[in-house]
Each structure stands twice: as C-alpha cells, then as structure tokens.
C-alpha cells in the first residue's frame, strides 16, 4: 500500500514524500480513505503508530475547499495537553505548507488575547485543550456552529485527565451534521460510551491489541535497591554501557525529576527536565533543546511527556516503576516509533513488585530481568555532612522525604495496596496530593474543579480494578 492509493491530493502526496514517509502506517492506510469519504472513525492504535497524520492529512484535503468565517472555526481538534496540541499544529504547518489554511492554537499558558484575535478572523482548524476552549466559549468569543469536523485525539488520556464531561459539553455545541473522528490507544468503557453517543455509524479501525506493547521495543526489568542514590548509580552504569543516543527517563514524582536531572548534570550528562511545574514556554524550550540534540537525555514526568512525539529516542528508562500499568505502555511507547527499534529499562525495587505484576498482567508478557554486575566505583563528589551540604545542591545520599513530594496530576489512580501493606498506605495518605502550581490548574483543569474525578464515575477503566484509595478523592479547588 502506498500513499498514492489513499485518495489524497497530488499536492499533499508531494508534501508527504518530502517529509520522508515512504508508506502509510496501518492506521493511516485504513483511516485516510474513510475520512476522505466523510465517515466517522474510531481509531484504536497504540502510541507511535502515526495517528496524527491519519487525521491531519485527510483534513487538509477536505478543508482545502470552502472558506472560514469570523469566529467560526471549520474544524476542531481536541488534545489533552498543550504539548500534544502544539505538536498537531506543527503537523498542520508541515503538511499544509502549500495550502492556505488558517489555524489557531487554543492552549493554556499562552496569551488569551492573541488567541482571541486569531479566532476573530476565522480559522479553518482550531486545535485546543478542552479547558481553554470551554473558557473561551463561556466568554462568548467562539462559536462552534460552523464546525463540521471534530477530532477527539488521545481519548484515553482525556479520560485520565477528567476531561470527558467537557468533551461531552463541547460535542453538544457542534452541529449535529458533522464528521467526528476519535483516536485512542485503548478503549475503556467510558470512551466507548462517548463514541456511542457522539459518533454516527463509525468505522472502527483497530491496528493493535489495546495496551499491547510494540514488538520493536526490547524491554528489561532492572532489579534495584530502593534508595535513590543506588538507583542513580545503576542508571549511570546503564547510561555508560549502553549506546544511548537519546533517552527519556521517567520518574513518578516531579521532585524526583528535578533531583535526577540535577544529579545527571553534575555527573557530566547532557540532560534536561520536563514536568508539570514548569511554565509552558519553559517546557517547550526544553523540548526544543532535546529535539535539536543540544541535550540527549530528558528526565520527565508522565503528565508532561505522555504522547509527545519525539523522534528517534533510542532508550526509555523508568527510573521509577510506574504506579499505573497503562503508564508503562505509554512511557515505553516513546521509543520504537515509526518502525525503529528501541530499548526500555524499568527499575524495580522490592516495593514495586506489585506494580510490575500489574504491568505484566496488562501487557500479557513477562519482561526479562537484567542482572547487572555491581556498578564500578565512580568518582563522585565527596560526601558532605548535612550542614556542609545545605547551601550547595550536590548529590544527596538520602531519600527525599516523601512528604515533600507531591503526586503529579492527582486524579490518576495510584493502585491501592493490599491489606498487608496497610502501614505503607497510611504513609501514602499523608502525602497529600496537591496541585503544586495553581496556574497550571487554572488553565486546563478549571472545568474539572467542579466535577468529580473520573475514577468516581468509571470504577472500571479496564486496566485497574482495585478500590480507589481515599487520598485520591480530592477536590481541585484553587
Ligand atoms: P501517535 O499519535 O499514534 O502516537 P504520531 O502521529 O505522533 O503517533 O507519529 C509517531 C511518529 O511516526 C512521528 O514521529 C511521525 O512523524 C512518524 N510517522 C507517522 N507516519 C509515518 C509514516 N507513514 N512513515 C514514517 N514515519 C511516520
Ligand atoms: Mg497521537
């Protein structure tokens, strides 16, 4: 199957060839002709399978006809995060280069005034995060009645972030006569319900088993001691012996992201960080450094990195085993993209046994254990006493106090622990998940404040069936 068989315009075919794509990915091959025939689509495919071009390409051809009207976008693409929205916009710029399509990006962290100005003129494509869109809608700055095409991208991620009620509301503001495309890596029941309600006679395209991992990714579990400094030592050992061209290192907490990045830099690695506490321009700047190769290691939290399209990542490290098995699939999906091969290492401390079990249950495969020799003694900063250490941020050989670490993006379910581990759970309960950055909460999550986290509404998301721990039932008032 070649791109030329899909019914795209010659102009677009040329752009695609220029982009270096030789053949469509399976989801593109199945989706593009149907989108061009104006069918509603449910596209289920794991991350890295090329879902973006599966809707961007046919949309460009469809939107080439017709003109935009003031304040009335002709099409709307919903993305769960600012970074993903920005990425889709980049794709439109890349593929739509030869066409006169106008586009607006509606995301938190960017001046509202500029966005409103862009909308005033009228746009062909509006790319938005649900929170910001609802804001503008309520201010009367936007009309969705001229929007005949809707894309709900990364629907499972939207669910995780509690955006489903917003999306439902947005759907009702669009004309009934429209084309709707929904893309997701997995199809948990609430997403199925959403699709049943808002899509008409959709064609379902599924190119991989939900939650399956990519065969191009070699995966290892690395047993580690629980202490951070031991884990960091192991990490440096692996970074030293592997041919790591580019790596993303995932941590469960923002504090760990910051600490680890600092430590890596002190050890001479070219690393950067990306997490939810950073302002949007800062995040994009860091991402740009990584994309340009100025840094080759990016330490990241799940929320900040999920779904990011960063090409050619050779390695993914899970510095912390993810609490939620779905995150494992998403994290390691950063490598092995577009047919390339990649390697994923997951650090597993004794306490993570249950998390690992859940990952293996979800992916349906046992991950090979990598037994490493004890790391060689490295030259490292001399150990200091607590007092010496205070003013200078050097490598700290003690665990960061859990109380100081907030769980990022609180509504995400941290699997409950079994009864016999009750004391630990008590301890976890004291780590009050809180919004660390009120500005971040204000933007995309405003609407969520007034709603219950999705876990309350959807006890079974198909991946974790345990009870919801009390500490997750928080409100997001700011
Ligand atoms: P998804 O949304 O499914 O996670 P993306 O749309 O972000 O995946 O695409 C993943 C990567 O694959 C991107 O780097 C993209 O440029 C690349 N890609 C997409 N389609 C093709 C193709 N037909 N051939 C080669 N690479 C592709
Ligand atoms: Mg995507």
The 10s digit of each residue's pLDDT in 122-180 is: 899 999 999 999 988 888 888 899 999 999 999 998 998 899 999 999 999 999 999 99
Question: What is residue 420's predicted lDDT score, i.e. its pLDDT?
Answer: 39
Atom of ligand 1 nearest to the CA of 310: 14
Q: Enumerate residues lining ligand 1, CB below 6 A.
A: 21, 24-25, 28, 45, 47-53, 309, 311, 337-338
Pocket test for ligand 1, best of 16, 32, 52, 339 (most atoms within 8 A of CB): 52
Distance from the alpha carbon of residue 228 to the mean position of ligand 2, in angstroms: 32
What's the whole-model pTM score?
Answer: 0.57
Half-sphere exposure of 402 (CA within 13 A, CB side): 12
Does 350 have pLDDT greater than 60? yes
Question: What is residue 336's predicted lDDT score, i.e. its pLDDT?
Answer: 79
Q: How confident is the model at residue 49 (pLDDT cuts 50, 70, 90)?
A: confident
Question: Best-predicted range by mean pLDDT among 25-29, 379-383, 420-424?
Answer: 25-29
Distance from the alpha carbon of residue 466 to the mean position of ligand 2, in angstroms: 28
3-state DSSP assignment of residue 127: strand
CA 237 vs CA 30, 115, 352: distances in Å? 43, 47, 21
pLDDT tens profile 76-115 = 999 998 889 999 999 999 898 878 889 999 988 777 788 8
Pocket test for ligand 1, best of 19, 50, 127 (most atoms within 8 A of CB): 50
Residue 36 CB neighbours (<10 A): 17
């Amino acid at each position: 199957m070649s791109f030329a068989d899909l019914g795209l315009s010659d102009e677009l075919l040329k752009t695609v060839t220029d982009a270096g794509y030789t053949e469509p990915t399976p989801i593109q091959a199945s989706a593009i002709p149907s989108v061009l025939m104006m069918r509603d689509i449910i596209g289920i495919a794991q991350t890295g399978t090329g879902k973006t071009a599966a809707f961007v390409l046919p949309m460009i051809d469809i939107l080439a006809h017709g003109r935009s009207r003031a304040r009335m976008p002709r099409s709307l693409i919903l993305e769960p995060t600012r970074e993903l929205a920005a990425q889709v916009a980049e794709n439109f710029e890349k593929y739509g280069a030869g066409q006169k399509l106008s586009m607006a990006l509606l995301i938190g962290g960017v001046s509202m005034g500029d966005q409103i100005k862009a909308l005033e003129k009228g746009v062909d494509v509006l790319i938005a995060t649900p929170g910001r869109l609802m804001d503008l809608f309520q201010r009367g700055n936007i009309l969705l009645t001229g929007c005949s095409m809707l894309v709900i991208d990364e629907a499972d991620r939207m669910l995780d972030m509690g955006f489903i009620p917003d999306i439902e509301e947005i759907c009702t503001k669009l004309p009934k006569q429209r084309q709707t495309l929904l893309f997701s890596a997995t199809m948990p029941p609430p997403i199925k319900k959403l699709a049943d309600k808002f899509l008409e006679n959709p064609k379902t395209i599924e190119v991989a088993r939900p939650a399956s991992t990519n065969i191009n990714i070699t995966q290892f579990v690395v047993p580690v001691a629980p202490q951070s400094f031991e884990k960091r030592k192991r990490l440096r050992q692996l970074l030293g012996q592997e041919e790591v061209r580019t790596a993303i290192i995932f941590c469960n907490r923002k504090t760990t992201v910051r600490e680890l990045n600092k430590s890596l830099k002190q050890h001479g690695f070219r690393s950067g960080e990306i997490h939810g506490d950073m302002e949007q321009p800062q995040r994009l700047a860091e991402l740009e450094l990584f994309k340009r190769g100025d840094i080759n290691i990016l330490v990241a939290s799940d929320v900040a990195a999920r779904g990011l399209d960063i090409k050619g990542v050779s390695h993914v490290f899970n510095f912390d085993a993810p609490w939620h098995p779905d995150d494992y699939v998403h994290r390691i999906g950063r490598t092995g993209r577009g047919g390339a091969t990649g390697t994923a290492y997951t650090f597993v401390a004794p306490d993570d046994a249950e998390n690992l079990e859940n990952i293996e249950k979800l992916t349906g495969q046992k991950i090979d254990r990598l037994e490493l020799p004890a790391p060689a003694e490295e030259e490292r900063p001399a150990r200091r006493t607590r007092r010496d250490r205070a003013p200078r941020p050097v490598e700290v050989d003690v665990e960061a106090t859990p109380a100081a670490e907030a769980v990022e993006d609180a509504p995400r379910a941290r699997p409950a622990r079994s009864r016999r581990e009750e004391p630990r759970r008590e301890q976890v309960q004291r780590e009050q998940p809180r919004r660390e950055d009120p500005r971040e909460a204000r933007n995309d999550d405003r609407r969520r404040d007034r709603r219950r986290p999705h876990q309350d509404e959807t006890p079974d998301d198909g991946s974790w069936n345990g009870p919801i721990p009390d500490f997750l039932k928080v409100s997001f008032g700011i």
